């Protein structure tokens, strides 16, 4: 499936350094004429280093063997992506941008087999998540999802999916950072979703990886690879080694709601109650968020914000673009009070807004 940005290739080189053991000599005590025994031979450095390398390799192999049967390739009429088997009923969690506008698609297990027809259950575009359901769930193996709140920077992780249509591909890396907030660029294949608490990883994420699994060495899914960074200094080209995944706790919460209710009923996200767009100043730079529409009865309307106003900041944090406004709101909760600086009729004012909940669609 078309990615929100071009994805990149990165990897992790693992070096193991072991301290050598000194030679041990043993003195005989049977008689005064006894001499020291011959020194024990030192272990070969190559043999010593091979043991932990083989152990890590075995761990990789075990994780891949256990998890890859839970990864699927999703094909729509316009592209492909990846997904994770969520339960034994045939529900599969993936990215909303992988599904796009499609209501029907085909699913193939990464380890092989015939394609299976599937249908969309529901999408949560604002969080770039979706659930689809295959018609024939027999033989599908649900993945084990871990607790992403326990992730540690430096953990080794594997990204599993179908990059460039290469089914069942695996790349490795580490957890580079946690708790990032990233916004996808808007385009026909992506609604410009904002991902709160994103996992940053050096594992390679390429087109087709989206919706797949970021897995720890215990074989648990701890994230869903979604996008990779672009470097403006490279003309928007890929920034090597910087990819982002939706935390597993977020994915399982949203997917669980969809499976139970057929839709997302609690986004856990704050909303101002406006529709807006980035305003560009006379210098050509972003200058704020222009209010295009105000939700009737929402927090913004109650605070006196009107269509045509320009939002300059929230809680003293500047919001020159719609993306930055969305990112700021991810740090707040429904029901919170927010100070919103607004340019209205040529004059700047600050109003207090009681934040509502971001709707699911």
Catalytic residues: 97, 128, 210
Longest dimension (CA), the chain: 106
In whole angstroms, give the CA distance from residue 212 to residue 100.
Answer: 16
State how far the Cα of 194 lies from the Cα of 321, in Å rounded to an integer: 13
- d(C-alpha 160, C-alpha 127), whole Å: 21
The total of other beta-carbon atoms located within 10 Å of residue 315's CB is 14
Q: Which residue has the tokens 């982002």?
A: 244
Could you give the angle at the alpha carbon of 37 between the alpha carbons of 35 and 41, nearest 5°? Answer: 155
Half-sphere exposure of 145 (CA within 13 A, CB side): 22
Which of 269, 265, 266, 288 lies closest to 278 in space, CA to CA?
A: 288
The pairing of strands 156-161 and 213-216 is antiparallel
- 172 contacts 12 by C-beta, under 8 angstroms: yes
Gap between the Cα atoms of 70 and 173, Å rounded: 20
| Residue 219 near residue 69 (C-beta atoms within 8 A) | no
* Helices of type H across the chain: 45-67, 96-99, 248-261, 299-302, 322-329
């Amino acid at each position: 499936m078309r990615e929100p940005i071009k994805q990149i290739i990165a990897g992790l080189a693992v070096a193991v350094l072991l301290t050598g053991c000194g030679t041990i000599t043993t003195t005989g005590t049977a008689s005064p004429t006894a001499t020291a025994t011959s020194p024990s031979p030192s272990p070969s450095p190559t043999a010593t280093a091979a043991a932990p390398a083989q152990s890590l390799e075995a761990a990789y192999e075990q994780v891949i063997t256990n998890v890859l049967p839970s990864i699927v390739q999703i094909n729509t009429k316009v592209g492909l992506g990846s997904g994770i088997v969520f339960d034994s009923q045939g529900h599969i969690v993936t990215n909303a941008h992988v599904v796009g506008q499609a209501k029907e698609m085909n699913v193939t297990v990464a380890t092989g087999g015939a394609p299976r027809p599937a249908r969309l259950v529901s999408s949560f575009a604002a969080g770039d998540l979706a659930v689809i359901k295959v018609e024939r769930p027999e033989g599908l193996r649900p993945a084990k999802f871990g607790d992403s709140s326990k992730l540690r920077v430096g953990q080794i992780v594997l990204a599993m999916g179908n990059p460039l249509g290469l089914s069942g591909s695996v790349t490795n890396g580490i957890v580079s950072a946690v708790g990032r907030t990233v916004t996808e660029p808007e385009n026909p294949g992506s609604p410009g979703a904002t991902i709160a608490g994103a996992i940053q990883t050096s594992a390679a994420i390429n087109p087709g990886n989206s919706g797949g699994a970021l897995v720890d060495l215990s074989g648990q899914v701890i994230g869903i690879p979604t996008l990779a960074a672009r470097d403006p200094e490279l003309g928007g080209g890929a920034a090597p080694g910087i990819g982002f995944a939706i935390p597993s706790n977020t994915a399982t919460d949203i997917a669980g709601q969809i499976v139970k209710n057929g839709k997302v009923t609690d986004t856990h996200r704050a909303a101002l109650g406006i529709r807006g767009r980035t305003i560009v100043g006379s210098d050509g730079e972003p200058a704020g968020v222009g209010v295009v529409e105000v939700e009737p009865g929402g927090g913004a309307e109650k605070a006196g914000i009107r269509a045509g106003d320009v939002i300059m900041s929230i809680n003293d944090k500047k919001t020159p673009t719609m993306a930055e406004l969305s990112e700021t709101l991810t740090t707040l909760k429904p029901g919170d009070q927010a100070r919103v600086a607004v340019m209205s009729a040529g004059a700047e004012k600050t109003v207090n807004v009681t934040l509502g909940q971001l709707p699911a669609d």
